[in-house]
Structure 1
Amino acid sequence: MIRGVRGATTVIHNDETEILSATEILLKEMISKNAIIPDHVASIFISVTDDITAVFPAKALRKFEGWAFVPVMCMREIPVQDSLKLCIRIMMHINTSNNQDEIHHVYLENAKQLRPDLQIHEKSI
């Protein structure tokens, strides 16, 4: 079964170092909480809001040992009026036998406001 693992974070500035650092932290958290190994990953989509232009966030994943062959694509998020700014979102497609409610989605920094319902769910586990 292929399941999606969602994650999102925000940065304060459109700065290459900050974007890569935030993306690396988010990816590590998603990988750790879901015990993901590269061979179980079908693909990863990373989207950014239109105010992030300094670097492709996927570059952060290339630092991870064993992840060189995982397909990753960066794209732009739909520019919805009054939406969260400076936001990086990740959708990781993994092969797993886990049920939907056993997947741990990760929302960090200001992105926590995107899914407050999941924050409550994580605290109860």
Structure 2
Amino acid sequence: MVFAIRGATTVENDCKEEIVRCTQELLNEIMIRNNLKKEEIVFILFTMTKDLKSAFPAYAARLMGFVDIPLICAQELDIEGALTKCIRLLMLIQRDNSFTPKHVYLKEATKLREDLTCEKGEDL
């Protein structure tokens, strides 16, 4: 069965190193909380707000070994008053029917889905 896992994080500065570090932190936390193997990932769609231009989140994923997984990046809609400096992702995975996805929102992105937010390393 195919499941979707959502996640988001923010950066303080638009710089390559921070985008890479925060994207990797988000991916790592999703992998841990959902006990995932890379082979179970169907694809990952990343979006970033228009104020982030220094690196592709897919680049950060490839540095982690996500080389055989289809990855794509897009710009998030530019909505007035929306959270800035935000990296979001939608990950589709293949798992058995008993799986319950654990979505991950870190840093300022916790404001996006307070109903799904918990401390790093903790499950809802």
Q: Could you tell me how far 1:39 is from its partner in structure 2?
A: 1.3
Q: Residue 33 of structure 2 contacts residue 123 of structure 2 at CA under 8 Å; is this kept in 1? A: no
Higher relative helix content: 1
Structure 1: which amino acid aligns with 2:109? Answer: A
Gaps of 5+ in 2: none
Distance in 1 (alpha carbons) for counterparts of 2:123 and 2:3: 22
RMSD over aligned CA atoms reads 1.8
Structure 2: which amino acid aligns with 1:117? Answer: D
- The TM-score with structure 2 as length reference comes to 0.91
Structure 2: which amino acid aligns with 1:104? Answer: K
Q: 1:99 to 1:48 in 2, by over 3 A?
A: farther
User: Superposition pairs for residues 10-29 of structure 1, below 5 Å?
Assistant: 10-29=10-29
Q: Could you tell me how far 1:119 is from its partner in structure 2?
A: 2.1
Distance in 2 (alpha carbons) for counterparts of 1:124 and 1:88: 21
Q: What SS does the aligned partner of 1:60 have?
A: helix
Aligned residues: 122
Q: Residue 10 of structure 2 contacts residue 106 of structure 2 at CA under 8 Å; is this kept in 1? A: yes
Distance in 1 (alpha carbons) for counterparts of 2:16 and 2:26: 15
- The TM-score with structure 1 as length reference comes to 0.90
Q: 1:98 to 1:85 in 2, by over 3 A?
A: farther
Report percent identity of matched pairs. 34
